[in-house]
Amino acid sequence: MLRELLPLYRVITTVRVHNGRSTSFWDDSWLGDEPLSEIHPALHSHATKPHATVAEVLQFGIDQFLQSRRTRAATADYTALAPLLATVLPGSGEDERVCKFQKPDGSLNTSSLYKALMAAHTPSCEFASFVWKNRHRPESSSSCGYSCNDASRAGATSSRSLSSRMTLASCAKITLRQWTTSSSTAQWRRPSGDKLVSS
């Protein structure tokens, strides 16, 4: 379980390198705000020891951890990275990890972390604002007030910025559902009568 959380932990932390023994050369963010595996992906693909530590690479040299034959992209990455590594001098003491969601007292700000995770995993929809602005009000007793003809006109009007086929297809999925109400509940139903959502 803890091993599965390691990639997430690396994403939300940066490392202040001292002896470099507990810091991953490729996967930790220690030479900038992103890991070297993402900054130089072509060079990372030539790594012979992907889990090498910073201490190992600084001690023996990066060439000892790379394939001798490299692509042009990997060579370009190497040319950009080598001068930076030459400026890094190993120190003493344990490496320090700093969390991007850390409170001043050092504790984890779980609220900010949760919001960031939700934002990263919530799919966006370019038609969301259009749908909500034209939603049918629950207190109405009539069937869906936004007709297919209205959806067609809206799709034609917005064709300059959006694909009209995609707009009409998305609207059709919505307008084919009927909005029925009673004194106590409002329910989305398919034309067949199957209930979709209750509110």
Is residue 44 within 8 Å of 37, Cβ to Cβ? Answer: yes
Least confident span in 10-24, 51-65, 91-105: 91-105
**pLDDT, mean of residues 29-43:** 95
pLDDT at 100: 80
What Cα–Cα distance (Å) separates residue 167 from each residue in 106, 148, 149, 162, 180?
Answer: 48, 12, 13, 7, 24
**How do residues 140-157 score in pLDDT, each as one tens digit?**
444 444 444 554 454 444
Least confident span in 23-37, 42-56, 142-156: 142-156
**How do residues 165-190 score in pLDDT, each as one tens digit?**
444 444 444 433 433 333 334 444 44
Taking the C-alpha atoms of residue 84 and residue 43, their distance in angstroms, rounded to an integer, is: 15
pLDDT at 175: 38
Most confident of 76-85, 107-116, 133-142: 76-85
Closest CA to 41 of 16, 77, 94, 66: 77
**pLDDT, mean of residues 35-61:** 96
Task: Read off the pLDDT band of 39 (50, 70, 90).
Answer: very high
Crossing angle between the packed helical segments 148-157 and 164-175, to the nearest 10 degrees: 160
Tokens 């950009």 label which residue? Answer: 80
Mean pLDDT of the chain: 74
Least confident span in 6-15, 47-56, 80-89, 91-100: 6-15
Taking the C-alpha atoms of residue 108 and residue 100, their distance in angstroms, rounded to an integer, is: 9
**pLDDT, mean of residues 25-47:** 95
Where along the chain do its domains lie? Answer: 2-120, 128-198
Report percent pLDDT > 70 for the chain. Answer: 59
